[in-house]
Amino acid sequence: MKNMDMDGLKNNMNKNFIKILKKIFLNKENSKHSEYHWNKLINLKLTNKKNKYFKFINIEKFFNEIICYPRISSKDYIDLKNYLLNISSYKLIFINGFFCNTLSDKDFGNWKITRKFKKDIKKLPKEIKSDFFLHCSESLSEEITHIYLKKEINEIKPLYLINIGKILENKEKIIFINNRNHIEIGNNSKCQIIEHFINNDNYKYLNNSRTTIHIKKNSFVDFIKINQNNINSYNFSNDDFFLEKNSNFSNNVINLGGYISKQNINLRFNKPNSNVLINSLSIPIKNQIVDIKTFVEHKDKNCKSRQLHKFILSDRSKGIFHGKIKVEKNAVKTDGHMKNNNILLGEKSSIITKPQLEIYTDDVKCSHGATTNYLDSEYLFYLRSRGISKKDAKILIICSFYLETIKNISCSSLFNKLDKMIFSFLEKIKI
């Protein structure tokens, strides 16, 4: 193995954290793939004050916590009713990052599900953008779930991946969970995938996830990601999506929990004539921080991307949005648009937003924009004059604001469940 020293980490506050990661890394037999990402990881400077990774996030507390890696244990005592969306689907259950065969479905319809262990991984897609926690996931995940839908399949029933954090021991430590999934969709196929991260206790988790999806030509994927981690937990996510010719992709992200939630969404148009819609809704509360970063790379012609990212911020919460649309030289006729709209409900809540364009060709239509407002007093007055209470009037305005981010979800039963989930979450907020 090359470069097992830590020269790249000198004068950084995260040395102890890296020592813990190194112990985890060496505990299992590694592949060339995991060694490659480990070397990337230890050469990234993560947390000096000017560092781009956590420029707006005070992460010192995190690196002073004691980290432990979850053990594999029997999990049959877990009551799934406390976790699942009640929808008809093929269910894959993961407990602390490990696939749970006893709780998962046995029949997956047209989906082919295989598990590969760390030492057996030979090749996965090269990352679109480098990130410290991306390399953590790739080098430390003990098992990777490969999910495949063969060509010319219209799979009506959603595939539902449920990732549950559950304390089994060491309740005073942060449980470090790595989730790694790779999904391939064959030519001329259509499907819906739901990825749900949840824990309903008050213990501390570091939920570090990575999902890659390769969408082949003439296919459509509707991908919904839901984060419901408790207020004491950290949620880091690095997702990469690769689109081939004439493909369509819809990505809806809903953030409803976690002390710090940092989400990187990267997408690349490899071939022409494809369309993408990326929507996110984040509702941080108390002193929670949600950081969303998107990178959409147009590498070929006649591709269309639409992004809409919304934050509803209350109490002392903070939202961060960085988005970039990059148009390469050959990507003529690109149509790319990105919006970030925000509502501040608390006097001490805040938002940092930075949408960007990077264009290297002519004959394109690209734009970006951002808005930040408090609740509209005229709307409030109008609703209250109709006999609606002040709190209910505020909730109605907020509901009309967030519905735009989930209206494109094709499954009506799932839409109704998510709408109810978001509404219930909002009712708990002091408005």
Going residue by residue through the chain, which has 431 residues, state the pLDDT in tens, using 9 for 90 and above: 444 333 333 345 567 778 888 888 888 888 889 999 999 988 876 555 555 656 666 666 777 777 877 765 544 457 777 778 889 999 999 998 889 888 899 999 999 999 888 778 777 899 999 998 999 999 999 889 999 999 999 999 999 999 998 876 666 788 889 999 999 999 999 999 999 999 878 888 899 999 999 999 999 999 999 999 888 899 999 999 999 999 999 999 999 988 999 999 999 999 999 999 999 999 999 999 999 999 999 999 999 999 999 999 999 999 999 999 999 999 999 999 999 999 999 889 999 999 999 999 999 999 999 999 988 888 888 888 888 888 888 888 999 999 999 998 878 888 898 999 998 888 878 77
Is 31 part of a structural domain of the chain? no
Q: Are residues 382 and 370 part of one domain?
A: no
Report d(CA 313, CA 20) in Å as an integer. 34
Q: Are residues 330 and 430 in the same domain?
A: no
Hey, is 351 helix, strand or coil? strand
One-letter amino acid for residue 189 of the chain: S
| Cβ 165 vs Cβ 120: under 8 Å | no
Distance CA 414, CA 411 (A): 5
114, two tokens: 């295989």
Same domain, 286 and 350: yes
Q: What are phi and psi of 105, to 5 degrees?
A: -65, 155
Whole-structure pTM value:
0.92
41: tokens are: 């990881």
> CB within 8 A of 355, min separation 6: which ones?
321, 322, 323, 324, 338, 339, 340, 368, 369, 370
Answer for the pair 338, 377: CB distance below 8 angstroms, yes or no: no
pLDDT of 367? 96
- pLDDT of the residue at 15: 73
Q: Reduced to 3 DSSP states, what percent helix, strand and coil does the chain have, rounded to the nearest 5? A: 20, 40, 40
In this predicted model, what pLDDT tens digit does every residue of 120-131 receive, in sequence order?
877 789 999 999
45 in a structural domain: no
Whether residues 228 and 351 fall in one domain: yes
Does some domain include residue 341?
yes
- What pLDDT shows up at residue 73? 53
Cα torsion 15, 20, 22, 27 to 10°: value is 170
Give the strands of the sheet with 159-164, arranged side by side: 98-99, 90-95, 159-164, 190-198, 220-228, 248-255, 275-282, 304-313, 335-344, 365-374
The answer to whether residue 334 sits within a structural domain is yes
Residue 112: domain span: 75-376
Report how many domains make up the chain.
2
CA distance 405 to 281: 6
Q: What is the pLDDT of residue 366?
A: 97
pLDDT of 8: 39
Give the other-Cβ count within 10 Å of 266's Cβ. 21
- Domain match, 169 and 293 both: yes
- Is the residue at 351 inside a domain? yes
For residues 177 and 287, membership in a common domain is answered with yes
Say if residue 359 is in the same domain as residue 216: yes
**DSSP letters for 321-359:** EEEEEEE-TT-TT-EEEEEEEEEE-STT-EEEEEEEEEE
> How many whole angstroms separate alpha carbon 311 and alpha carbon 212?
25
Place of tokens 């049959």: 76
Write out the DSSP string of 254-289.
EE---SEEEEEEEEEE-SSS-EEEEEEEE---TT-E
Both 419 and 345 in a single domain? no
257 shares its domain with 150: yes
Separation CA 128–CA 114 (nearest Å) = 24
